[in-house]
Amino acid sequence: MTLQPTKKEKKKLGADAKPKRILDGVSGAAKPGRLLAIMGPSGSGKTSLLNALAAQVPRSKRLTLSGTLRHDDVSVGQDTRRNRKRLNDAVAYVQQQDVFYSQLTVRETLETAAAMRMPTSKYTQSQRSEAVDDVLRAMGIAHVASSKVGDVKTRGISGGEKKRLALACELVGGSPHVVCCDEPTSGLDAFQAQRVVESLKKLASDARRTVVCSIHQPRGSIVAMFDDLCLMANGRCVYQGAWTDAPEWFERLGHPIPTNANPAEFLVDLVSVDTSSDAKQKESEARVEALAAAWEKRGRSADVDADVDADVAEHAAEQKTDESAPAASANRRAGLAAQFFMLLKRSWRQVRRDGATNKIRLSTSMNSALVFGSIFWRMGLTQTSIQDRLGLLQVSAINAAMAALMKTLTAFTSEKVIVNRERASGSYGMLPYLAAKLCAELPVGAFFPLAFGAVVYPMAGLHPRADRFAKFAGLIVLESFTSSAIGLAVSSVAPSTEAAVAMGPAVMVLFIVFGGYYVNADNVPMCFRWINKCSLIKWAFQGLCVNEFAGLEFEKSGKKYGDQSDGGVVLERLGFVGTSAGDAAREQVNVASFCYLLTLYLLEKNAPKFQSMEP
Ligand SMILES: Nc1ncnc2c1ncn2[C@@H]1O[C@H](COP(=O)(O)OP(=O)(O)OP(=O)(O)O)[C@@H](O)[C@H]1O
């Protein structure tokens, strides 16, 4: 795996800008029924190797990946649709980051994962429940089956249980031959780490799966569970084979593993470059180079390729005779309707149960309503109340939009991680996902702007008619959904929550400027006028103004100039004459629909893509 230098690097370094070898001539075999540990210092290429083994190296124009990847005796390196399907069925890949829907219980999380792989057309409910029970037991998480997964806001299961749940999600309803696991023990205490590796070992020994995991300096009792070792240094392999043969190999090279030392720690230290001083750096680099060269020489002389071929042939023969060996099932995606209902159930549970977020949203809405209600308290019908009304309607529109936008920006970027992971294994389409998400969020999402309206409307003394209040609330709710739709579109392209939170308000500020209060669209350069057409703030403000001012009579001030006794005059000055609240609502729906379609397009376009392995 090679990484080409960036344009900036080429410009800066000229001919010295050389491609970086991330993986260099790494070769080997992982065998069924055995647990293989990939070890090495940070940056040695462990994750890259695992990504390559699972054929999930993120696609990049700068990367080239060449080699041969075989599962059993079938070559699967090329990212063709057929190979991807075969890989999805045969390989379970548990990545380092484990993100789940926090409000679902462990059982519900697994039931959803099972529903994605075991469509109702092929499996009964009891078969799915049985699969969930089996994997709960196998992963040792049956005791927390009814606990919520949790997150930073809601206390849930422990980090180790989350890791085992991530593994369980990859296993339930499928029969992968190969399980790849990136740093399953990172961030865990020694006890939790031990339990996770025990689960992996059980998968290898009981279910005869090929289990490969990368790991950082495991303690002795964990090392004892590994059957094989792949030791990496600077993207090169320094040792690959049985753990039991490693001491002899390193002793032969003049580095005997001390009897009282943890072999894992000793070996990782041995292949690490010490940068604390120039002399130490030179010395350690020379040592690593010698170790890598020795392994490469041994590989050539022992003809590793022939060894691998022999292993593959042996395994293929075993598969034929061993009935306990798992067979990769040809999983099929559920139909569109089934996908929709499954995802609707999950989203609804998440939204309804997320008490911590809902409480924050409610208190924010109430606070804003009370603050605005107090500032604009009982405005009356004086001439000066016209300006107050315009101000209140504008800030109400901005407040509803910002609240919905920020909620979506923060929530969707982390949800996208789960969605992308599930899409990588082809579990569902984006259309049922987005439709289910919208339907689930509709009632809860509408509640907060409604609560805001219910408090601010009577406090400020806006148009005192029930139908006008209903329209006010409807317009604010609609605007809030449009803002959410903009948030979804922004989050679809943002690489992280931080980026989304920076991009979203920047877009919204443009819509606020064109919100109908600060600038007259006819006075700005032509190239900016389109913003006026798609400003959700403008449409909300226009609808709210028409709803408020139509039919309202204001008291005369008795001054000579400037009185606007009729609400119609105010609307005329704003340029809203001849329009209705319904017109504004329709425009709002158009903006929201466009943003939902844009989100769908962006999600489809930005689907996770993987690097093909060139032969
Ligand atoms: N797509 C990429 N673009 C740029 N650099 C990359 C890319 N993929 C890998 N690298 C680089 O390749 C090297 C190996 O990365 P990798 O993540 O595989 O290491 P690792 O051994 O898993 O490290 P750690 O233990 O810290 O997770 C690192 O220097 C990393 O920055």
Domain of residue 55, CATH code: 3.40.50
Among residues 148, 177, 206, the one where a domain terminates is 177
Of 282, 307, 328, which one is at a domain's C-terminal end? 328
Residue 177 CA to ligand 1 centre (angstroms): 26
For residues 397 and 519, state if they share a domain: yes
Q: For the segment 546-558, what is each residue's pLDDT rounded down to a tens digit?
A: 999 998 888 887 7
Helical ranges in 150-277 per DSSP H: 159-171, 190-207, 220-223, 246-252, 263-270
**Residues 144 and 239 occupy one common structural domain:** no
- Calculate how far, in angstroms, residue 234's C-alpha sits from the geometric centre of ligand 1: 10
Ranking 205-214, 329-338, 561-570 by mean pLDDT, the lowest is 329-338
pLDDT at residue 484 in the model = 96
**Per the domain annotation, does 162 fall within a domain?**
yes
Please state, in angstroms and rounded to a whole number, the distance separating the CA atoms of residues 476 and 548: 13
| Residues 513 and 458 both lie in one domain | yes
Give residue 395's pLDDT band: very low, low, confident or very high (50, 70, 90). very high
Ligand 1 centroid–CA 47 distance in Å is 7
Residue 79, domain member (yes or no): no
- Over residues 302-327, the mean pLDDT reads 55
Q: 5 C-alpha to center of ligand 1: Å?
A: 15
Domain assignment of residue 513, yes or no: yes
Let me know whether 392 and 491 are in one domain: yes
Question: What per-residue confidence (pLDDT) applies to 309?
Answer: 61
Range with the largest mean pLDDT of 281-290, 321-330, 584-593: 584-593
Return the residue whose CA atom lies nearest to atom 18 of ligand 1.
45
Nearest CA-CA partner of 459 in 398, 381, 376, 545: 376
Whether residue 319 has pLDDT greater than 60: no
Please name the residue whose Cα sits nearest to atom 17 of ligand 1: 47
Considering the domain architecture, whether residues 258 and 324 belong to the same structural domain is answered as: yes
What is the number of the ligand 1 atom nearest to the C-alpha of 182?
22
Has residue 64 been placed in a domain?
no
- Cα separation, 55 vs 88, in Å, equals 10
Same domain, 439 and 539: yes
* 192 lies in the same domain as 135: no
Q: Which one of 46, 95, 215, 609 would you pick to mutate in the ligand 1 pocket, going by the greatest count of ligand atoms within 8 A of its CB?
A: 46
CB within 6 Å of ligand 1 — which residues? 3, 22, 40, 42-48, 60, 63
328 confidence band (pLDDT: 50, 70, 90) = very low
Same domain, 212 and 143: no
Residues 591, 536 contacting (CB under 8 angstroms): yes
- Residue 183 Cα to ligand 1 midpoint, Å, equals 13
Maximum C-alpha span of the chain:
105
Whether residues 448 and 529 share a domain: the answer is yes
Residue 155 belongs to a domain: yes
What pLDDT is recorded for position 318?
Answer: 60
- Name which residue sits closest to atom 26 of ligand 1, judged by CA: 42
Q: Are residues 171 and 186 in the same domain?
A: no
Ligand 1: centre distance to CA 188 (Å): 22
Write out the residue range of the structural domain in which residue 116 sits: 97-177
Distance from the alpha carbon of residue 42 to the mean position of ligand 1, in angstroms:
8
Per-residue pLDDT reduced to its tens digit, 245-281: 999 999 999 999 998 889 999 999 999 988 888 888 8
The last residue of one of the domains, among 132, 148, 177, is: 177
* Higher per-residue pLDDT: 560 or 523: 523
Nearest-atom number in ligand 1 for the CA of 45 is 18
Per-residue model confidence as pLDDT tens digits over 95-138: 888 889 999 999 999 999 998 888 888 889 999 999 999 999 98
The number of the ligand 1 atom at minimal distance from the alpha carbon of 216 is 25
pLDDT at 392: 96
Which range, of 34-48, 229-243, 437-451, 551-565, averages the lowest pLDDT?
551-565
Q: Which two tokens stand for residue 188?
A: 């865990």
The percent of residues above 90 in pLDDT, for the chain, comes to 54
Q: Is residue 311 domain-resident? A: yes
Please tell me whether residues 525 and 392 are part of one structural domain. yes
Which of 107-121, 455-469, 473-487 has the lowest average pLDDT? 107-121
Distance from the Cα of residue 124 to its chain's centroid: 30
Cα-to-centroid distance, 52 and ligand 1 (Å): 12
Is position 219 within any domain? yes
pLDDT at residue number 326: 43
128/113 Cα distance (integer angstroms):
10
Q: What is the mean pLDDT of the chain?
A: 88
Binned at pLDDT 50, 70 and 90, residue 200 comes out as: very high
For the cut 50, the answer to whether the pLDDT of residue 324 exceeds it is: no
Task: Kindly state the average pLDDT of the residues 354-369.
Answer: 94
Closest C-alpha to ligand 1, atom 8: 48
Report percent pLDDT > 70 for the chain: 92
329 has a pLDDT exceeding 50: no
Please compute the mean of the pLDDT values over residues 8-16 and round it to a whole number.
Answer: 76
Please return the burial class of 320, using the count of CB atoms within 10 Å of its CB with bins 0-12, 13-18 and 19+. Answer: exposed
**Which of 48, 61, 96, 610 most suits a substitution to test ligand 1, by most atoms within 8 Å of the C-beta?**
48
Say what the pLDDT of residue 401 is.
96
Residue nearest atom 5 in ligand 1 by C-alpha distance: 3
Residue-wise pLDDT for 40-75, tens only, equals 999 899 999 999 988 888 888 888 888 888 877 667
In three state form, how does the secondary structure of 107-156 look? HHHHHHHHHHHCCCCCCCHHHHHHHHHHHHHHCCCHHHCCCECCCCCCCC
User: Measured between alpha carbons, how far is 93 from 214 in angstroms, rounded to an integer?
Assistant: 12
- Same domain for 304 and 225: yes
Domain count, the chain: 3
User: Would you list the DSSP string of 447-467?
Assistant: HHHHHHHHHHHHHHT----HH
Confirm whether 391 is domain-assigned.
Answer: yes
User: Strand, coil or helix: what is 254?
Assistant: coil
Residues 571-586: tens digit of each pLDDT = 988 888 889 999 999 9
CB atoms within 10 A of CB 447: 15
For the CA of 60, the closest atom of ligand 1 is 1
Confidence of residue 330 (pLDDT cuts 50, 70, 90): very low
